[in-house]
Structure 1
């Protein structure tokens, strides 16, 4: 596929996903996975999990970060530009329009009911993201990864540990595991 066609597909895909996604970054990440992993087969599932981890640990909106890492993986800097434009244009336009009609929306019971109902859909999509990502970890049958996932949940949910501290701890564990593996490979090779 030619680079121009890939860039066009990246832009249109992120534009479409960003336009019709309601509920924030975790929702769009699932849809990016469906589009680029399941439908287009441009990225495999493990790579997508790595890209999501990078997007989550980077400062900024996860939808934009997700678009950045996917765009870069697929087409370099030009892919980043196309993906970011596609991800940013719809919210910018929608928020601009909403700001003009904010007073009418604030008091409208139909709009309020619609937004309240959308919370359920957003919750379901977030559960789907957790299931997809968690099941991949469980399928790997890596005891350490499963333990890290479970302990991270317990630390945050039950003990209120800030996610930043959890991410930093997991980075240290990941680096340590990687160094240990590399040393073992070096000792065997």
Structure 2
């Protein structure tokens, strides 16, 4: 029971203090789940992030469900989900009730400008952190360059890039099962 409450509180804090969506949450989730709590190894965390990205829905929600399930089974998945979703629910409720009255205030506008400036840095930290556990070889470098080029220059949808990268991994990088 203590572990479930700890999990709820961990994901509640992450959900409450992270702006900018799931990618901005990755560094915080990693610090809590891998470094502090040691619920997952760095490699397992990377697997959870990859799987979370391929499933429909928000990255933070998917990763909290997968981490909760991996740590404490079905109840852990539910607790992780509630922990990460409830702060947003309460914040949106408060915003709906009070924000419209204060939106045009100078200092409220400044707060949101400051938050929006920090979000790209949180995403960059997530990219750097995840890239550290990626094997440094030519195959991965080629996949990264082709993926970036396809999305940036040829407007290929990211879902197609993810699916094709996964297919490439299965066909060319997979280990034979004995």
**TM-score calculated relative to the size of structure 1:** 0.88
Task: Please give the alpha-carbon distance, in whole angstroms, between the structure 2 residues aligned to 1:142 and 1:105.
Answer: 52
Distance 1:160 1:175, change over 3 A: same
- Between the two proteins, the alignment pairs up a number of residues equal to 178
Higher relative contact order by CA 8 Å / sep ≥ 6: 1 or 2?
2
Task: Please give the alpha-carbon distance, in whole angstroms, between the structure 2 residues aligned to 1:40 and 1:159.
Answer: 42
Task: Please give the alpha-carbon distance, in whole angstroms, between the structure 2 residues aligned to 1:5 and 1:147.
Answer: 45
Segments of 5+ residues of structure 2 without an aligned counterpart are none
Runs of 4+ in 1 over 4 A off after TM superposition: none
Is residue 169 of structure 2 the alignment partner of residue 174 of structure 1? yes
Q: What is the deviation of 1:178?
A: 5.0
Residue of structure 1 in register with 2:29 after alignment: 32
Residue of structure 2 in register with 1:111 after alignment: 108
Decide whether the 8 Å contact of 1:105 with 1:111 is kept in 2: yes
Residue of structure 2 in register with 1:151 after alignment: 146
Task: Please give the alpha-carbon distance, in whole angstroms, between the structure 1 residues aligned to 2:139 and 2:132.
Answer: 14
Task: Please give the alpha-carbon distance, in whole angstroms, between the structure 1 residues aligned to 2:43 and 2:146.
Answer: 21
Q: Per-residue displacement from partner, 1:135-177 (whole Å, max 9, x unpaired)?
A: 322xx22321222122211211232211011011012112113
Residue of structure 2 in register with 1:126 after alignment: 123
Task: Please give the alpha-carbon distance, in whole angstroms, between the structure 2 residues aligned to 1:149 and 1:9.
Answer: 37
Q: How does 1:35-74 map to 2 (within 5 A)?
A: 35-74=32-71
Is residue 32 of structure 2 the alignment partner of residue 14 of structure 1? no
Task: Please give the alpha-carbon distance, in whole angstroms, between the structure 1 residues aligned to 2:115 and 2:16.
Answer: 15
Segments of 5+ residues of structure 1 without an aligned counterpart are none
Comparing 23-32 with 66-75, greater Cα deviation is found at 23-32
Q: CA RMSD in A?
A: 1.5
Residue of structure 2 in register with 1:94 after alignment: 91
Task: Please give the alpha-carbon distance, in whole angstroms, between the structure 2 residues aligned to 1:42 and 1:160.
Answer: 38
